[in-house]
Amino acid sequence: MVIVVDMLLTGFDSKYLNTLYVDKNLKHHGLIQAFSRTNRVLNDTKPYGNILDFRQQQDSVNEAIALFSGEKVDRAKEIWLVDQAPVVIGKLDTAVKKLDDFMKSQGLENKPEEVANLRGDAARSQFINLFKDVQRLKTQLDQYTDLNEEHKKTIEQVIAKEQLQGFKGVYLETAQRLKAQQEKGGENIPPEVQQLDFEFVLFASTVIDYDYIMGLIAKFSAEKPGKQKMTRAQLIGLIQSDAKFMDEREDIASYIDTLQAGEGLSEKDIRQGFDAFKAAKNAKQLAAVAEKHGLEVATLKTFVEGIIHRMIFDGEKLSELLEPLDLGWKARTQKELALMEDLIPLLHKLAHGRIISGLNAYEQ
C-alpha cells in the first residue's frame, strides 16, 4: 500500500496498481489524472482499475468525464467506466447459455466431464472460445468490490463454483493438446486451431501458488480420513484448474494419489517427497528413452543434465552422444530427430518454463 499526496497522485505509474482509495476532493484534470493511476492494463486478469471514493464525488466524476470526453459526451460513461455488476452477471449468463447450447448441439450435457467426448478439433476449438468468454467475465466479476450476497447467489446460480473449476481443468487439458498442435505447425492443422488464442493468464490465480498448494497437501496429510475439509478429488481439481501448474499438474496429482490421509506429513516432508517423486519419475522416463534408442542411461543422463545446467542445446554434444552407435550420416540424422522428439517434452519439463537456447531447431 502506498499513501500518496499531490505529486505521486498524478505522476506515479504502475501496471500492478489495482485499487485507488480516494479521501480527497478532486475535480477536472486532477480527478482524471488521479483515477488514471489504476487504468494501466497489466493483462487479462487486470483489465481495469477500482476506485473507492470516500468523498461521495459522483457529480465531480460525471463533470470531469464529460469535460475530457470531447465530442462523445453522450457516451462518456460508456467509454470511461465499466459496466455495473448486474450487467456483467447478465453477460456471464448469456455466455454460459451459449456454452450450454453448443454442448447440446454436440449431443452432450453441459458438464466438464463431457468435454472429453467432443469429436474433432473444430468442436474442441469452439469449446475453447466459448468457455474462455465465460472465464473472462468471471474474472471481471472477481475484480468487483461491491458484490453483495444477492449478486454472489445469482453468479452461483449461473455457474456453480464446482462446475466452473471442473471446466477450467478440462479447458487447460484441451488447450494444452491444441497448443502442442499449434507449435508443431504444418499444413494439416485445422484453421480453427491455428487461430486460437488460449489466454492462459485468465486461468492463473494470484492466490493459489506453489507454496499454497504444498500447504494444502500437508493439511490433507495431517487430517484423519473423513475429517478433511478438502477431499483428494477437490485438491487435485484445484490444481488442474490453474494454468500455473499446467506443466506439473499430472505430477502433483499423481503424487497426491500416493499419500494417505492422516499420515501427518509436514510441509517440509511433502516438498521433499514431491521432489523425490518427480526425480524418480523423470529417471524412469529417461531410462525408457535410453532403452528405446539403444543408449547408455548414464550417458544420456549426463547429456540432459548438461543441457539443463547451461540452458543451451549443443548439437555437437548430440553427435557425440550417438557416436557409439556407429551410424551413417543419413541414419544418424533420422536417429537424432527420433531421439529429440522423445527428449524435448522431458527437457521442457526440467527447464520449468525457462528457454533452452538452440532447442527450437528440433521443434520446427
pLDDT per residue as tens digits for the range 274-330: 889 889 999 999 999 999 999 999 999 999 999 999 999 988 899 899 998 988 888
Q: What is the mean pLDDT of the chain?
A: 82
> Taking residues 2-16, what's their average pLDDT?
68
Q: Which residue has the cell 517427497?
A: 273
What pLDDT, on a 0 to 100 scale, did the predictor assign at position 177?
85
pLDDT for residue 159 is more than 90 = yes
What does the pLDDT read at residue 47? 62
pLDDT (0 to 100) of residue 89:
96
pLDDT above 70 for 257: yes
The pLDDT assigned to 294 comes to 93
Nearest to 173 by CA among 288, 277, 250: 250
pLDDT score, position 69: 67
Cα separation, 84 vs 88, in Å, equals: 7
pLDDT at 105 over 80: yes
Q: Which residues pair with 52 in a beta bridge?
A: 21
Higher pLDDT, 249 or 258: 258
pLDDT at 168 over 80: yes
Between CA 28 and CA 267 the distance in angstroms is 53
pLDDT at residue 210 is higher than 70:
no
**Can you give the pLDDT at residue 65?**
76
Q: pLDDT tens digits for 44-100? A: 556 667 788 888 887 888 788 777 766 555 666 666 677 889 999 999 999 999 999
Grid cell locating 86? 448486474
Q: How confident is the model at residue 134 (pLDDT cuts 50, 70, 90)?
A: very high
Sorting pLDDT into bands at 50, 70 and 90, what band is 348?
confident
Structure confidence at residue 22 (pLDDT): 86
**pLDDT band (50, 70, 90) for residue 167:** very high
What average pLDDT does range 187-207 have in this prediction? 74
- Three-state DSSP at 9 gives helix
Sign of CA dihedral 288, 289, 295, 299: negative
In angstroms, the CA 237 to CA 240 distance is: 5
Residue 107 — pLDDT band, cuts 50, 70, 90?
Answer: very high
Question: Strand pairing of 50-53 and 19-22?
Answer: parallel
pLDDT in tens, 224-238: 666 656 667 777 776
Indicate if the pLDDT at residue 155 is higher than 90.
yes
Instruction: Please give the average per-residue pLDDT across 240-254, as a whole number.
Output: 72
Q: Measuring CA to CA, how many Å separate 102 from each of 98, 107, 109, 199, 297?
A: 6, 9, 10, 21, 49
262-276 tens-digit pLDDT: 777 787 888 888 889
pLDDT at 35: 82
Taking residues 101-113, report their average pLDDT: 94
pLDDT of residue 11: 64
Q: Using alpha carbons only, what angle is made at residue 199 by residues 194 and 204, rounded to the nearest 5 degrees? A: 145
